[in-house]
Amino acid sequence: MTRKSSVSWRKTDDVASRPWTGTVREYDLIKELIIGVVVVGLLVLGVSAIFGSPDEPSVSLKAWATSAPADFVGTAAKELAGTSDSAGYGPPYNSTAGATQNIGPVDLQSLSGVRLPIDTANDFVITPLSTLPSPPTALARWKAATAQQRSDWAAAYSDALAAAPDNDPAKVAAGDYGPVPALTGALLDMARQGSLDGVLPSGGNFYNMDYTRSLLFLGDGGYFPDLAASQHLSGDQWGVMNETGDTPGQSWLWLFSLLYQVEPFKSAPNADALVVVTMLVLTALLALLPFIPGLRSIPRLIPLHRLVWKDYYRNR
């Protein structure tokens, strides 16, 4: 008798066996299915059509050379002169002095070192032209010149392009530019034919999925930033755009993007480093939330869950 009473007591004390005393209402499965599939589906399609991001084609070097040849030639001249943004970026591409971003005395950008060395003149112009079946004769003159002579030629031509009407290479004033006009012109032809898109990223490898060089070259010109501005993705705006094709958008980037629009990140010269450190701190707080006194008590002190599940807690 004692054993039966103990089993009976345990059953009545079991939460799952207690009778439900909360609200009871009818449940229409067909109605739920229609709302969940048809209504919500139409709503999603409608909102996607109104607010969805455009399915833009991939940006290529061929499109750049065809749509903005003057910008392409001007950028190639800067790469030869070593005056482009990529040439002076600093780690992990090169060791340009004073180009890194610090957090106090800590030089975060230099911690990894120069892991992806980029020589803009050779990697973006000279090496691709050397892969042509009939490389331009100007290559030999460039390679035979001293580093100072190359720099002088490229800098002079880059300045002349900037002063020419519409930055048109055909309207550049006469000057001592050495083989630079021939080199940039040959690179433009190579890009227009589409072969530069295959040669520049590969770095001499047949199989390649690393588009670092192509993106850096594109970013040094004005064509790529202009495309971003046309889609309202410039520095004074923020948001997330769907990637080209049918792949999902990079929705996880919204918080990174948001931080760049608020102070002190917005006007800080080391904004990249500040944002990265801030995101590391926030991620650590989220991961360690169950172990941090005070933060782990927030759900108890601010019981929003009781508002969400009010029907349940009303009967507790």
For the segment 54-91, what is each residue's pLDDT rounded down to a tens digit? Answer: 677 788 999 999 999 999 999 999 999 999 999 999 89
Q: What's the distance, CA 260 to chain centroid? A: 13
Pick from 83, 111, 120, 143: nearest CA to 217: 120
Q: Domain segments of the chain: what residues?
A: 61-230, 241-316
pLDDT at position 6 is 46
- Record the tokens describing residue 184, joined without a space: 């940039």
The residue among 98, 1, 292, 62 whose CA lies nearest residue 187 is: 62
pLDDT tens-place string over residues 30-52 = 888 888 899 899 998 998 888 77
pTM across the whole model: 0.71
Quick one: tokens of 308? 């969400």
Percent of all residues in the chain with a pLDDT value above 70, rounded to a whole number: 86
Amino acid in position 192: R
pLDDT at 13 over 80: no
| Pair 99, 108: CB distance under 8 Å | no
Whole-number average pLDDT of the chain: 84
CB 220 within 8 A of CB 89: no
